[in-house]
């Protein structure tokens, strides 16, 4: 069944293609931008729009990361909607600067300000201009101001994330003498994943700037005195240096045509060689990532990583029968879904339904490239919502789902386990610590999947067995 058929399956008797979305499988662009800005040292994310978006996005991200997350808003009201929001934007920047003393304010627009046609780029230029700027009007020296255009109707949170990363490097990176450092640009991954990526590049002896890096800011420690700006994040100096790094590596980065990703910006502006790899999940894709690091560093895979790889192969073999010939649904951001599908394929699970709310148009192509054995055997849906996903999963018959918390209703209806990955994870502890990447992340996923299946089998067995 094609995506169009699935849409039609839930539509009016006239057979029209579905117009509405029920239980969306994606979030909006400003959310992604806020997340990306959170990974830059000393940054306060700032949404130019009405108050609600910022509050909602904070609430949503807080329930996932369980960390304080301050996102400012220009609180555009009725007047500003009619007459323009520049004074709100300026006042907002002044207030954030006064209270937080940030190094950077990451301004993302919302659907409202995009549609009323605010020229935020010019406004920010005026805000830092010696004659028209905030220093003159308010005696407040603004920090670095970054602007990411993120009209929520133009893309998903993943697109907003890429847009913010790209704007940040475009604003801050500078020319200079080439360093021996590389810039690693991961897509939306967990704080645990970021920490693991750091270990891996360290293992290859590669000086690396990870951008953004919210591993500390969104997975921090308890403190005696509250810090309004949580410590951590990619240092601004290092972002400056991405303009003259030896290379940049984008992990993931399936994009809509509207978003030029940071690696491409750095290549076009400063001639920094750009490499792109899929999310390293599973042995094949992690090997591919490690091969690239070997190429860039001249060093082989470090011993400890090789050992992790060995243990993973061992675990695959020990557990293969429990997962063999099972059917899964995989749901999440496009980059994640590509990696997960390739991983499932290599352990003998068929991801019969592969779905994302993303709409890059490149999902099927990427999956075929990463896991050619799946071609023709699976349903690949982009721009999907959970109504479509549930229908497809029912039709295909699945043994489990790998996806975020929002898939819970579907798995509950189908009576199958949900292995929680990606974002949002709102109904379990530890979203920050779910590992997805590298041999270690894969090991975690493999164990969780096998155990979920074993638990179901055990619970449903008439024997209260405790040995297998």
Partner 1 sequence: MTTVLSSRLGQVARAGDGSADIVCDKQSVAGSVSQRACTFCGSRVVLYPIADALHLVHGPIGCAVYTWDIRGALSSGPELHRLSFSTDLRERHVVFGGEGRLEDSLMELIERHHPSAAFVYVTCIVGVIGDDVEAVSRKVSERTGIPVIPVQSEGFQGSKRQGYDAACEALLRLIGTGSTEGIGKHSVNLLGDFNLAGEIWIIQEYLKRMGVEVVANLTGDGRVADISRAHGAALNLVQCSGSTTQLAKDMQKKYGIPFQKVSYFGLDDMAGALYGIAEHFKDPEMLARTRDLVAEEISQVLPVVEACRKDLEGKRAAIYVGGAFKAISLVKALRLLGMKTALVGSQTGNAEDYRYLRDLCDPGTIIVDDSNPSELSTFLAEEKCDLFVGGVKERPLAYKLGVAFCDHNHERKLPLEGFLGMANFAREVHASVCSPVWQFAPRFQSANPVEV
| Residues in 215-274 that interact with partner 1 by CB under 8 A | 220, 222-226, 228
User: Closest CB to ligand SF4 among 48 and 366?
Assistant: 48
177, interface contact from ligand SF4, partner 1, none, CB < 5-8 Å by kind: none
User: Closest CB to partner 1 among 52 and 397?
Assistant: 52
| Residue of 88, 167, 181, 201 interacting with partner 1 (CB under 8 A) | 88
User: Closest CB to ligand SF4 among 112 and 285?
Assistant: 112
CB of 341 to partner 1, least distance (A): 24
User: Closest CB to partner 1 among 9 and 396?
Assistant: 9
User: Closest CB to ligand SF4 among 43 and 50?
Assistant: 50
Which residues in the 405-424 window bind partner 1 by CB under 8 A? Answer: 406
CB burial class (10 A; 0-12, 13-18, 19+) of residue 387? buried
Instruction: Decide: is 76 part of the binding site for partner 1 (CB under 8 A).
Output: yes
| Residue of 55, 174, 299, 457 interacting with partner 1 (CB under 8 A) | 55
DSSP-based three-state secondary structure for 406: helix
Instruction: Decide: is 186 part of the binding site for partner 1 (CB under 8 A).
Output: no
Phi, psi at residue 121, to the nearest 5°? -55, -50
For 227, the enclosing helix (H) or strand (E) is none
CB 267 within 8 A of CB 248: yes
For 277, the enclosing helix (H) or strand (E) is strand 274-277
User: Closest CB to partner 1 among 11 and 458?
Assistant: 11
CB 142 within 8 A of CB 102: no
CB 160 within 8 A of CB 150: yes
| Residue of 2, 4, 98, 299 interacting with partner 1 (CB under 8 A) | 98
| Residue of 70, 219, 264, 308 interacting with partner 1 (CB under 8 A) | 70
Instruction: Decide: is 151 part of the binding site for partner 1 (CB under 8 A).
Output: yes
Instruction: Decide: is 53 part of the binding site for partner 1 (CB under 8 A).
Output: yes
CB of 110 to ligand SF4, least distance (A): 6
208-210, strands of its sheet edge to edge: 208-210, 182-186, 247-251, 274-277
Instruction: Decide: is 154 part of the binding site for partner 1 (CB under 8 A).
Output: yes
Question: Is the torsion defined by CA of 316, 317, 318, 319 positive or negative?
Answer: positive
CB of 213 to partner 1, least distance (A): 19
Contacts of 196 (CB under 8 A, 6+ apart): 435, 437, 438, 440, 441
CB 103 within 8 A of CB 41: yes
Between the alpha carbon of residue 428 and those of residues 25, 26, 264, 420, the distances in Å are: 18, 19, 36, 8
| Residue of 71, 182, 206, 352 interacting with partner 1 (CB under 8 A) | 71
Instruction: Decide: is 136 part of the binding site for partner 1 (CB under 8 A).
Output: no
Round to the nearest angstrom and report the end-to-end CA distance of the chain: 38
User: Closest CB to partner 1 among 152 and 162?
Assistant: 152
User: Closest CB to partner 1 among 230 and 339?
Assistant: 230
**Cα–Cα dist 26/392, whole Å:** 18
User: Closest CB to ligand SF4 among 73 and 404?
Assistant: 73
Rounded to the nearest 5 degrees, what angle is found at the Cα of 259, between the Cα atoms of 109 and 54? 25
Which residues in the 32-51 window bind partner 1 by CB under 8 A? Answer: 46, 49-51
Looking at beta carbons, which residue is closest to ligand SF4?
52
DSSP-based three-state secondary structure for 175: coil
Contacts of 112 (CB under 8 A, 6+ apart): 49, 50, 53, 76, 81
Residue in this structure with the two tokens 């920010």, named with its chain if needed: 124
Instruction: Decide: is 16 part of the binding site for partner 1 (CB under 8 A).
Output: yes
Instruction: Decide: is 428 part of the binding site for partner 1 (CB under 8 A).
Output: no
Binding site for ligand SF4 (CB under 6 A): 50, 52-53, 56, 110-112
Size of the site for partner 1 (CB under 8 A): 76
């Amino acid at each position: 069944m094609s995506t169009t058929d699935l849409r039609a399956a839930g539509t009016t008797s006239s057979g029209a293609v579905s117009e509405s979305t029920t239980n969306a499988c994606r979030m909006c662009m400003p959310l992604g931008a806020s997340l990306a800005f959170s990974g830059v040292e000393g940054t306060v994310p700032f949404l130019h729009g009405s108050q609600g978006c910022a509050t909602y996005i904070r609430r949503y991200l807080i329930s996932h990361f369980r960390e304080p997350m301050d996102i400012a808003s220009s609180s555009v009201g009725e007047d500003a909607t009619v007459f323009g929001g520049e004074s709100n934007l300026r006042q907002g920047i002044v207030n954030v600067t006064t209270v937080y003393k940030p190094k950077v304010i990451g301004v993302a627009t919302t659907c409202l300000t995009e549609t009323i046609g605010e020229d935020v780029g010019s406004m920010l230029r005026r805000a830092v201009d010696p004659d028209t700027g905030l220093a003159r009007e308010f005696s407040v020296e603004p920090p670095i101001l970054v602007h990411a255009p993120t009209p929520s109707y133009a893309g998903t949170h993943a697109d907003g994330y890429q847009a913010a990363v790209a704007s940040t490097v475009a604003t801050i990176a500078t020319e200079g003498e080439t360093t021996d450092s590389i810039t690693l640009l991961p897509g939306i991954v967990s704080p645990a994943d970021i920490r693991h990526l750091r270990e891996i590049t360290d293992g290859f002896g590669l000086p690396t700037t990870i951008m953004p890096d919210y591993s500390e800011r969104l997975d921090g420690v308890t403190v005696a005195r509250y810090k309004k700006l949580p410590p951590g994040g990619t240092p601004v100096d290092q972002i400056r240096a991405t303009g003259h790094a030896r290379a940049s590596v984008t992990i993931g980065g399936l994009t809509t045509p509207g978003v030029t990703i940071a690696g491409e910006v750095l290549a076009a502006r400063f001639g920094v060689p750009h490499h792109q790899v899929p999310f390293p999940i599973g042995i094949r894709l992690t090997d591919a990532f490690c091969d690239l690091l070997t190429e860039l560093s001249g060093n082989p895979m470090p011993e400890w990583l090789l050992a992790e790889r060995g243990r993973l192969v061992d675990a695959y073999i020990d557990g293969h029968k429990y997962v063999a010939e099972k059917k899964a649904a995989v749901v999440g951001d496009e980059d994640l879904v590509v990696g997960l599908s390739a991983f499932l394929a290599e352990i003998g699970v068929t991801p019969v339904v592969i779905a994302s709310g993303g709409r890059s148009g490149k999902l099927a192509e990427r999956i075929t490239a990463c896991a050619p054995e799946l071609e023709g055997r699976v349903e690949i849906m982009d721009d999907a919502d959970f109504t479509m996903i549930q229908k497809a999963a029912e039709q295909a018959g699945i043994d489990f789902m790998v996806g975020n918390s929002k898939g819970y209703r579907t798995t509950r209806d189908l009576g199958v386990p949900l292995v929680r990955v990606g974002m949002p994870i709102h109904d379990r502890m530890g979203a920050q610590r779910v590992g997805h990447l590298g041999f270690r992340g894969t090991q975690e996923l493999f164990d969780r999947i096998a155990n979920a299946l074993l638990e179901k089998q055990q619970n449903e067995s008439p024997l209260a067995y405790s040995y297998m």
